[in-house]
Amino acid sequence: MTTSPRDLRHFDTAAPRIMVVDGSKLVRKLIGDVLAREVADAVVVPCSGITEARAALAAGAVDLVTTSLVLPDGDGVALARSVREAAGQAYVPVIVVSGDAQAHLEARRFTEDVTDYFDKALGHTALAAFIRGYVQPQPIPGARVLYVEDSKVVALATKRMLERHGLGVLHFIGVEEALEHLEAHRGDDDPGADLVLTDVYLKGALSGNDLLDRVRHDFGYGKRRLPVLVMTGDANADNQSALLRAGANDLVLKPIEERLLVTKTLFQLRLARLPEQATLDA
């Protein structure tokens, strides 16, 4: 996404309040029912647009917000700004739920008020897993992250972040070594890892872009077969868009915030294991 939260609160409350903002009453009910069923003790606060959301925020803080990109009285980006400006409201995730989210992401049209995005086409179960990753993160036993980073300091810190959440980390200092590992598993049912996490700029002859290209085209692994998260400190919107168009599942911007990194990692791992779902379009 466009930014890493500066002060993303941990969900110590036993009953997270999740605001669902969408102009469609049917979609609000649909998302609300999914959350009530699959996110333990969730209190759903439905709103039809920015005006209702502002009134709800004035009545009490929330723990997470989902919003449609298009609202009757504005858009999801404007709604995110309203959440950030609400008095007494902590910095919480604001997630755009839209069929056009990927296009906005690739065009880098989201502001840093938006924490993350979700594509409606992924369906109900995936949405519940995505939000659960924020409010009640659960480890995935046995999951392996192939991690490419040539900075020892960054690698150690990031590896510890992932391992604290039960993830196994296969660390390589260069793309060449990572490709050797993948090559050893070519043709197997198991590609040798469950997810690839790589920096863009590396000291070796090959970059993170090269690794992404090889995963998608040489090995032929799709986004579900082997998800790829790319870490970058490059604020250039065109460069970020190019990574997404080249096949990156998502971006993790530096400096890395642990909860956001872990949420994105666990979500991509869970999504790869989910069957195809009915969409959330109404």
- At the fourth CATH level, the homologous superfamily of domain 144-273 is Response regulator (3.40.50.2300)
Query: For 11-49, how does the pLDDT look when each residue is reduced to its tens digit (9 = 90+)?
Result: 444 588 999 999 999 889 988 888 888 777 889 999 999
Q: Which residues, including other chains, have CB under 8 Å from residue 19's CB and lie 6 or more apart?
A: 45, 46, 47, 53, 56, 57, 62, 64, 65, 66
Query: How far, CA to CA in Å, does 243 sit from each of 47, 83, 133, 175, 230?
Result: 34, 29, 24, 16, 8
124 has a pLDDT exceeding 70 = yes
| pTM: predicted TM-score of the whole model, two decimal places | 0.73
Contact between residue 213 and residue 194 where contact means Cβ atoms under 8 Å apart: no
In this prediction, residue 277 carries a pLDDT of: 55
Fill in the amino acid letter for 42: A
Cβ neighbours, 10 Å, residue 235: 11
Residue located via tokens 């723990």: 63
Counting every residue written for the chain, the total comes to: 282
164 has a pLDDT exceeding 50 = yes
Collapsing DSSP to helix, strand or coil, 170 comes out as strand
Weakest mean pLDDT among 6-10, 92-96, 173-177: 6-10
At 188, is the pLDDT very low, low, confident or very high (cuts 50, 70, 90)?
very high
Provide mean pLDDT across the span 171-175.
97
Which residue(s) pair with 66 in the sheet? Answer: 20, 95
In this prediction, residue 162 carries a pLDDT of: 95
For residues 259 and 271, what is the distance between their CA atoms, to the nearest angstrom?
Answer: 18
CATH 3.40.50.2300 domain position(s) in the chain: 17-135, 144-273
For residues 197 and 208, what is the distance between their CA atoms, to the nearest angstrom?
Answer: 9
In this prediction, residue 47 carries a pLDDT of: 97
Query: How far, CA to CA in Å, does 196 sit from each of 27, 36, 58, 87, 173?
Result: 33, 32, 42, 40, 13
In this prediction, residue 65 carries a pLDDT of: 94
- At the fourth CATH level, the homologous superfamily of domain 17-135 is Response regulator (3.40.50.2300)
Contact between residue 90 and residue 7 where contact means Cβ atoms under 8 Å apart: yes
In this prediction, residue 12 carries a pLDDT of: 47
Collapsing DSSP to helix, strand or coil, 97 comes out as strand
Collapsing DSSP to helix, strand or coil, 47 comes out as strand
In this prediction, residue 14 carries a pLDDT of: 59
Fill in the amino acid letter for 261: L
